[in-house]
Every structure is written in structure tokens, then in C-alpha cells.
Amino acid sequence: MSCEMRIKQLKQSISNGKEEIAKNSELMSKARKYNQELYLRNQRHQEKKEKIQRRNYKLSLIVEKRDKDLKNRHGELACLRRSHILELTSVIFPLGEVRNVTRDPADVSFENDNAMTSSTVSKLAEARRTTYLSGRWVCDDHNGDTSISIAGPWITLPNNGDYSAYYNWVEEKKSVQGPEMERNNPAYTISAALCYATQLVNTLSHILNVNLPKKLYNSEFCGENLSRWKFNRAVNKLNSNILYMCFSQHMDQELLHPLHTLRNLMYLVSPDSENLGRSGPFEISADLEDSMEFVDPSGAGESDESGDEHISDEETDLGTDWENLPSPKFCDIPSQPLEMLDSESTMMSQPIASSSAGGMISSAAASVTSWFKAYTGHR
């Protein structure tokens, strides 16, 4: 009996094993089929990947070729700009350095003073040739020994950026009149040099395709005599534009000074400037930009008493481009009491109602008459 039970159990185990094998084989066949589908999909994706890689390689070659062409075009454009700028600065706006032959009275007095030692004289001379720039004192070898000429050797600007002779002459002219004042006039030379510098900067911005941060007209220094505040403000805008253009051409910042108007321009358009005519992004030196200040710090905060000069750059820039039209004058409507308005409205409504009723009656009578005439004529 026990053997039969064991045989039945073995048979049952064998049948269960066969069923399990059948299920596993079915799952295995499904897995093989799924793996085959994944393999085919992987092949398609691999082909697509290779196709995309070939396309990316072709595009990279095209981009590299176009990038090379763009660099060549930028180089050709830079050479063309450079030739135009050199022609402009050699024919129309030549820039040059003019050494002053007059000696500083302070140096003469120092030499004549026997009590002054040579070391003290040298220290004072060194102190006179230092400038506070970017938070530190730097040596300035061109602090007044030379001048920079533009458009001719007779039109010069002080190299140290001290244009106080302009508004000093303007203020002196208000009190003293005469032909002698017109003959000994440093303001004409300074205003002419600044006017030519403004024209050159605006022309260079057009050639180099650089948008200047400050809007300055070519006739800014050519009109009437400017006050100290207006003059310093215009000079500050001109110096800012020149520095901005120097930054755009990747000039050496060690050569730049925020107050040296024509010397910065001379460095910019120099034939030795390697990056003159370049295109592309650039960075602005924050330290040098913070050092930008008015030419005469004593008059920087002063303005005319009229108060008309307390306007922003945007207002100044747009003021000459728009025509000021007079404001329209409107007639005032006289105010009336509410009772009078109500009475007038009721009086006006009564004739309107009566006239409308009379019009309806007359139109009805006319239609009846025309119908009657047509009827009698037909008979």
C-alpha cells in the first residue's frame, strides 16, 4: 500500500514538474522573442545613431569651415577698418605730440631758491608728476610737459586734462571786454580741439560699429561759450566714450588715463595698435571706470543758478530731436446750478416730443392722400 502511494506521489510530482517545465519553456520562448525584438530595435537605433553621428560630423565640418570663413571676414573687415582709420587720422584728423617749450614757473623758483635742496626739488617734481588713479597713486610722465595736437600743430590740448583755461577765460570775458581778450583766447583752441575730438570719436564709432554709451553731438563745443558745469559735463562724456572705444579694441589698460583725452585717442588709432578694427565682445575695467571724474573737480558739483541744467543724459540727448509744441488751450465750461440744468432739459424735451408727434401725423396724412389720388386715377 505504501508503494502504491509512493508511486502515485511520484507520478503527481512528475506531472507537476512537466507542467512547470512547460510554463518555463513558454516564458523562455516569450523572453527569447522579446529579446529578439530588443535586438532588432537596438540595431535600428544603432543605425540611427550612426546616421546622426555622420550628420553631426558633416555639420561640424560645415561649422568649422564657416567659422574659419567668419574669422577671415573679421580679419578682412579689421584690415579695412584699420586702413580707413589710419587714412582718417593721417589726412583729416592727424594726432601728434607737441612738447611745451615754456618752463614751469615752479621749477624756476625752485632752482633760484638757494635754501631748497636738490632732494626736495626732485621730490616735489616727482609729486607733481603723480596722479591718483584706480585707488592708488601712479606716476604720470606726461602730466603737463607735452600737449597733444589734432588736425594741425596749432590746435592742442593740455595732456594732463586740465582745461580750466577755457572757463577761466569765459568768466574773465564776462567782466573784461576788448579786442585783447579775443586775441589772447585759449578757449578757442581748447574748444576747437575738443570739437575735432568729438567728430573723430563719432566717426570712429561708425567705422568700428561701436555704440557709444554717451550721446555727444559734433557741435557740442562749437556753439556759445559753455559754463563750467556744462563744459565739465561734456568733457566727461567725451572721455567716457573714448575709454569705452578703447575697451572695445582690447587696448592695454596700463596706457589709458581717464583724463587724457587726446592721448587715449592717439593710443587707440596708433599703427602699433594690434587689435584696432576688431569685432566681438569685450570687458570694461571697473577700476578705470570708477576713476572717471570731471576735469575740474572743484567745479564738478557746481551748476548754474537757473536750475535748468539739472537734467539727465536721456533728457539732454532727446531734447534737440523733438519739437516742443504749445499745449492746446481748452475753454472752461461754466458751471451752472443743478436746478437750472433740470429745467432746461425738460423745456428742450417738450418741443422735441411735439415736433416728433406732428411729423408722424403729417406723414400719415400724406400717405393717405397719395393712396386716394392713385385710387381715383385708376378708376
- Domain assignment of residue 86, yes or no: yes
Model confidence, pTM: 0.61
Most confident by average pLDDT, 87-91, 182-186, 252-256 = 87-91
Same domain, 82 and 155: no
pLDDT of 255: 87
> How does residue 85 score in pLDDT terms, banded at 50, 70 and 90?
very high
For residue 54, is it within any domain? yes
3 state DSSP class of 250: coil
Q: Are residues 83 and 156 in the same domain?
A: no
| Per-residue pLDDT, 374 | 61
- Residue 308: what pLDDT? 46
**Residue after which a domain boundary falls, among 51, 69, 92:** 92
Asked if residue 53 is part of any domain, the answer here is yes
Q: State the chain's mean pLDDT as an integer.
A: 74
pLDDT over 80 (residue 292): no
Higher-scoring residue by pLDDT: 76, 224:
76
Between the alpha carbon of residue 139 and those of residues 99, 142, 235, the distances in Å are 19, 9, 23
Residue-level pLDDT at 185: 76
Q: Provide the pLDDT for residue 97.
A: 85
Q: Is 227 helix (H, G, I), strand (E, B) or coil?
A: coil
DSSP H helical segments within the chain, as ranges? 2-87, 105-112, 118-128, 164-175, 179-183, 186-208, 228-248, 261-268, 286-290, 313-319, 338-378
Report the distance separating Cα 204 and Cα 85, nearest Å: 7
Is residue 360 included in any domain, yes or no? Answer: no
Domain final position from 92, 126, 156: 92
Backbone angles phi, psi at 304, to 5 degrees: -65, 155
Please tell me whether residues 79 and 154 are part of one structural domain: no
135's torsion region: left (phi>0), alpha (psi -120 to 50) or beta? left
- Are 203 and 282 part of one and the same domain? yes
Q: What is the pLDDT of residue 283?
A: 85
**One domain for residues 182 and 291:** yes
Average pLDDT over residues 265-275: 90
Pair (69, 183) in one structural domain = no
Tally of domains in the chain: 2
Give 61-84 as a DSSP string: HHHHHHHHHHHHHHHHHHHHHHHH
Confidence check: pLDDT of 358 > 50: yes
- Asked if residue 252 is part of any domain, the answer here is yes
Alpha helices in 269-337 (DSSP H): 286-290, 313-319
The answer to whether residues 239 and 261 touch, using CB atoms and an 8 Å cutoff, is yes
Q: Which domain holds residue 168?
A: 147-319
Find the mean pLDDT for residues 332-348.
48
Whether residue 167 sits in one domain with residue 74: no
Looking at 54, 70, 92, the residue that finishes a domain is 92
> Which has the minimum average pLDDT: 91-105, 157-171, 309-323?
309-323
Average pLDDT of the residues in 223-246: 88
> Within a domain: residue 338?
no
Beta bridge partners of 76: none
pLDDT: which is higher, 378 or 373: 373
Which residue, chain included where needed, has cell 432739459? Answer: 345
Shared domain for 184 and 54, answered yes or no, is no
Q: What percent of the chain has pLDDT over 70?
A: 60
Based on the fold, state whether residues 199 and 264 are members of the same structural domain: yes
> How much is the average pLDDT of 70-92?
92
Verify that 212 and 311 share a domain, yes or no.
Answer: yes
Check whether residue 76 and residue 184 sit in a common domain: no
- pLDDT 10s digits, 120-156: 655 555 555 555 444 444 455 555 567 888 988 888 8
Is 372 part of a structural domain of the chain?
no
- What phi and psi values does residue 270 have, to the nearest 5 degrees? -65, 140
Are 216 and 76 members of one domain? no
Cell 565739465: give the residue. Answer: 232
Region of poorest pLDDT, from 50-54, 185-189, 255-259, 365-369: 365-369
Alpha-carbon Rg for the chain, nearest whole angstrom, is 46
pLDDT at 323 over 80: no
Residue 265 counted as domain residue: yes
- Determine the residue type at 374: A
